[in-house]
Chain A
């Protein structure tokens, strides 16, 4: 069982990202689950979304999770949200920030000794999509860190997931995914 927790602000696309990831993984025959805690669901409020992936049907519906990966797609949440909740020794963090890893850890000491990757999803999204929607770049970074799928395979499938968007936006998302894949450290 692979488990992922997303930290986001409502409106930044974590739910779409989690469902998109689930959709792509499902095409390879694995079983998936994607859900979120909405709370009061106000735009800008801190929220979490979740993925489960397994070879068997996912029957577990508890919200409690000890994640294998934590995605932080809003830079400020590293400081204000409990992103290390239910940490286990091998939890991997992929964090949106303009800082490099050492700078980030010195500013957020709770990440000390943990496996941390950094990528600036916000800037990437602004420069490619034209809006600060950092969900798809995070998935590009995840593909690099996890080596889950070949990036071309992943992009082809994400194109299908995003097919209802205008073609220009889909292309911009593909650029964003590739840039985050290349830039995550």
Chain B
């Protein structure tokens, strides 16, 4: 291990002993191939076992290690120390979410919103299992694949000032997933999802700041999904107005 070290300024919040978050600086060894999560694990294992944070896969898949690194939402398992060294690094809990402890935030609000947009295939009538699966062509898959890459890391919510100001906003990832299922050729749940997506707390809250798409580690582009949903619902509204005999 090298002699070099790097300072990590971490948010601490222990509700049983303080009313508001504080900060604590830890000096950890600097390794060129370490990510921020390695530094946090070092603190936990060698300096202060009371530090709390979430992580699981360490490979950008589970979406649980999202935190603010120097003020920007990042997957800490994908943010390298070498990009910040030799400066002190500030690690904070994901912005806009209530803090439970240290770097752990409460994501119940997102879970409720995710459920509300029904991110699963809805059929008007399910066909019996014996009749086999619902088939889909590669071209049909391509239509929504980008939007299905979401790992629910919530970096997009932490980057969205609209959510920070009005947490009733359904938010980028949930709306992107709503759009993803609407695009799925096997799905028939457009009307049910649109009740939530096109409500006053849905797509129309979005002012297209676009930062959600900038920070998304999976290139989901939730901002585009939201704007496309705006175009689509508006077009469908006009169609139903001008051609009330039409299907949609």
A and B physically associate = no
B interface residues, Cβ below 8 angstroms from A: none
